[in-house]
Amino acid sequence: MARVDMTETEDGGTPGDQGSASRPAARPGGRFARWLGGWRGDRGIWRRGILLALCAVLVALVMVFHADIPNRVGNLGSLIETFLPWFGLSVPLLLVFALLRRSATALIALLLPAVVWLNLFGGLVVDKSQSGGDLTVVSHNVNADNPDPEGTARELAASGADVIALEELKGDMVPAYEQALAAAYPHHSVQGTVGLWSKYPLRDARPVDIRLGWTRAMRATVAAPAGEVAVYVAHLPSVRVKMNAGFTANQRDDSADALGEAIAHERNRRVVLLGDLNGTMNDRALNGVTSQLRSTQGAAGDGFGFSWPASFPMARIDQILVRDLEPMASWTLPETRSDHLPVAARVKL
């Protein structure tokens, strides 16, 4: 019968244990080191991932040349510009695929969209707000079907704003807003479906024709303690994405041009535009307006300030734009019973 030798070895184990005893202990990061070592010995890292690299270059080109994408077919250019900041999500997504494919070519190509996105939007990520300011303004599309207009008005008044602009006012709900805001805002004017409430006296309140056939824009002079300011309130036509028509924004574009013309003829150099423009600052269709005014969010905001839809904001289509005023801070207010978030800004005259 075979005899099993249980003699101890010099290190205190048995001969049968020598195989396991001789294995090196697992080191932290060992798997990562082996994975990295596989890259160094892999000659295919430059040949793989060509398609991923092309996707990265394409994303970069779209962001760089977005203004050159034509609007002739379904307003494609404006649609892309509306959601342009979200193109940055392609960078981490492509990064994951590039790592899984072990493609050095794709990793290097990813530098292009990353640098372009940072150049376009990196400044929005940094908090640029400052203390001080002479006038705090709020703009809110309250939603024509808002089930609690009084509560919405009270929440807006609680912000402490000096001036509040409301859009999408339904005729039979106007008294509810007037009653809820009367104590804090003794001066107000409603023109069509937009209105302006102010702690300071208003004069020259009148509708602004934006080529719709009914009133969705107005202007008034606010006699603030630091000086008079021309305040415009506007609600540009809505846009839709339809399978058979693309981005239906032609009516919005015509109204934006009309609003830009009205602001160009404004005699008061100090101008504030509050409203739901149904477009972002990147959308070339709003150039008639944005070429004359600057965004408070871009100049003094913290983050992108997305305002729509309120449940999961994806775009800033509610704007506060100024001329000859210094933006000091810009932010969004908490959600109300509307499908938009209120937007606020503090400016220095």
> Domain extents for the chain?
43-125, 135-348
Cα separation of 112 and 142, whole Å? 41
Cα separation of 28 and 232, whole Å? 63
* Segments of the chain with pLDDT less than 70: 1-43, 241-248
pLDDT score recorded for residue 29 = 57
CATH number of 135-348: 3.60.10.10
Cα separation of 169 and 163, whole Å? 16
pLDDT score recorded for residue 75 = 86
pLDDT score recorded for residue 74 = 79
Other beta carbons within 10 Å of 60:
22
- Per-residue model confidence as pLDDT tens digits over 158-204: 999 999 999 999 999 999 999 999 999 999 999 999 999 999 999 99
Contact indicator for 233, 262 with CB cutoff of 8 Å: no
pLDDT score recorded for residue 46 = 83
Contact indicator for 257, 263 with CB cutoff of 8 Å: no
Task: Tell me the residue type at 243.
Answer: M
Other beta carbons within 10 Å of 105:
19
Contact indicator for 267, 288 with CB cutoff of 8 Å: no
Contact indicator for 329, 134 with CB cutoff of 8 Å: no
pLDDT score recorded for residue 34 = 56
DSSP-based three-state secondary structure for 286: helix
